Amino acid sequence: MSKQFPKGFLWGASTSAYQVEGAWNEDGKGPSVQDMKDIPVGTTDFKTAVDHYHRVEEDVLLYKELGLKAYRFSISWSRVMSKGEKNPKGLEFYRKLINLLKENEIEPIVTVFHFDLPYDIHEKGGWENRDTIQVFADYCQILFEEFGQDVKYWQTINEQNVMALAGSAIGTSNKSMKEKFQENHHMLVAQALVTKNYHNGHYPGKIGPAPNIASVYAASDKPEDQLAALYMSALRNWLFLDVAVYGKYNHNAWHLLEKIGASPTITVEDQELLKEGTCDYIAINYYNTMTVSAYYKKENKIDQQSGFGIPGFFQSVENNNLLMTEFDWPVDPEGFRFTLNEVYSRYRLPILVTENGIGAKDILTAERSVHDDYRIDYLKQHIEQMRSAIEDGVEMIGYCPWSAIDLISTHEGIEKRYGFIYVNRSEEDLKDLSRYKKDSFYWYQKVIKNNQL
Ligand code: BG6
């Protein structure tokens, strides 16, 4: 049987605005929460990032050479909207990027919000303030009007579940569960409103959410561990996708929120809106699975991928069957097949993978090469499993690994590199910011060209 991927499969790669652009206060851009947060000691801030804002032509040419069929990026809300006003220079930058992509036959895939809430909105209460729902919808309306004819795939909110469950780790929110799930509810309503508006505008594309989805394994065959896995998955995964697809809260997640006193206030209008603004496809970010047992201890390590526990419900535990990356994230390619199948069998909507990849301390050799065979191994294994998922019957739109080019990690600096393209800078020293193609660049180029491994 041919191992080719379906015709038109979108082989892509991803980035997000604040992690690559830099130019944090140029051309009318206001600060976002990412510009104002406390940066962990020893890691860089996001002020220059990898200077994509000034090198966008060069970067898109490299994407072209890589052979990308699609490029998933995010739009910086505080670049496009400055103190509530439309910023023409900000829009100009994204117009240029989208035009460059299209000239090079690369499908633009746009996320409208990726962790970088404008700081002025944050100061007015951020997502906890109901008014943010309409402010977000107005911002999205501008994007749809400007780019709606050129962008065929939109994502509303990147990893809303990570913001709700591990906001302190990624620097987006540090509040109580009650406050976070009220914020989260407002985001869900905002997503529904924007989705409804998009549909009403009859634009020629599709819109969907982009949560971080990971199947949850039970630590043992003990019934209480199985139930723990069911609850963790409801809170971590299905809460977000049930609302996006079915327009209503998952019953297990809701029960859990009520039990811990964190259920949000929901109006009748909200309930109606959630039903009216459901998504066209599902974008997911996948890094690894989670394993949980019944809750047995009080201390929890909070990590955005795997550390989490709720008394009475579940406790994340290490899975000794899985290898770990040098940044201590489990590696589980078969879990990727499992997760894709789980999502598809629940929702029966096509899936676009918007992130998947390995963070590593790459080394630039004297010859200006990067021998990142570990990245090739990681991606190869995940692509094999994705291929198996397609054979299982899962409908896939495309695959956009994290990341197209090196970028600044959410909280572990530039040292934790993900890209196919190396950027010459360190935490403290911007050096020359030159771009170098890694071994994985040439490998992925072949995969794309052959439409198979
Ligand atoms: C996802 C985010 O959580 O994982 C990205 O959408 C992030 O923004 C990526 O960079 C990898 O996480 P980290 O913490 O290694 O940067």
Residue 218: its H or E element: strand 216-218
Sign, CA torsion 118/327/295/336 = positive
pLDDT in tens, 71-88: 999 999 999 998 889 999
Q: How far is the CA of 162 from the centre of ligand 1 (A)?
A: 10
Specify the pLDDT at position 298.
56
Active site residues: 159, 355
Lowest mean pLDDT segment, chosen from 9-13, 204-208, 307-311, 403-407: 307-311
Q: What is the CA radius of gyration of the chain?
A: 21
Counting every residue, how long is the chain? 453
d(CA 107, CA 407): 21
pLDDT band at 416 (very low <50, low <70, confident <90, very high): very high
Question: Would the pLDDT of 338 be above 70?
Answer: yes
95, 89 contact by CB (below 8 A): no
How many whole angstroms from 11 Cα to the centroid of ligand 1? 20
pLDDT at residue 232, rounded to an integer? 96
Nearest CA to ligand 1 atom 14: 410
H/E segment holding residue 90: helix 88-103
What is the reported pLDDT for 301?
56
Position 294 scores a pLDDT of: 95
Atom nearest to 359 CA in ligand 1: 15
| CA–centroid distance, residue 254 to ligand 1 (Å) | 27
**Where are the strands (E) in 121-195, listed by range?**
153-158
Any residues with Cβ below 6 Å from ligand 1, and which?
Answer: 16, 19, 158-159, 162, 212, 285, 304, 355, 359, 402, 409-412, 416
Residue in 236, 400, 409, 418 to alter for ligand 1 test, most ligand atoms within 8 A of Cβ:
409
> Across-strand partners of 331?
323
Q: Give me the DSSP letters along 229-251.
A: HHHHHIIIIIHHHHHHHHSS--H
Return the ligand 1 atom nearest residue 16 CA.
8
Contact criterion met (CB below 8 Å) for 194 and 151: no
- Domains in the chain, start-ordered, CATH in brackets? 10-450 (3.20.20.80)
Query: Ligand 1 center to residue 14 CA distance, Å?
Result: 11
Residue whose CA is at the smallest distance from ligand 1 atom 5: 410
169 C-alpha to center of ligand 1: Å? Answer: 11
Q: Are 63 and 106 in contact (CB under 8 A)?
A: yes
pTM of the model: 0.96
**DSSP per-residue codes, 365-426:** -TTS----HHHHHHHHHHHHHHHHHHHHT--EEEE--B-SB----SSSTTTSB--SEEE---
Which residue's alpha carbon is nearest to atom 8 within ligand 1? 410
Q: Closest ligand 1 atom, CA of 162?
A: 3
C-alpha 184 chain-centroid distance:
16
pLDDT tens column, 157-205: 999 999 998 887 776 677 889 999 999 999 999 999 999 999 999 999 9
pLDDT at 42 over 80: yes
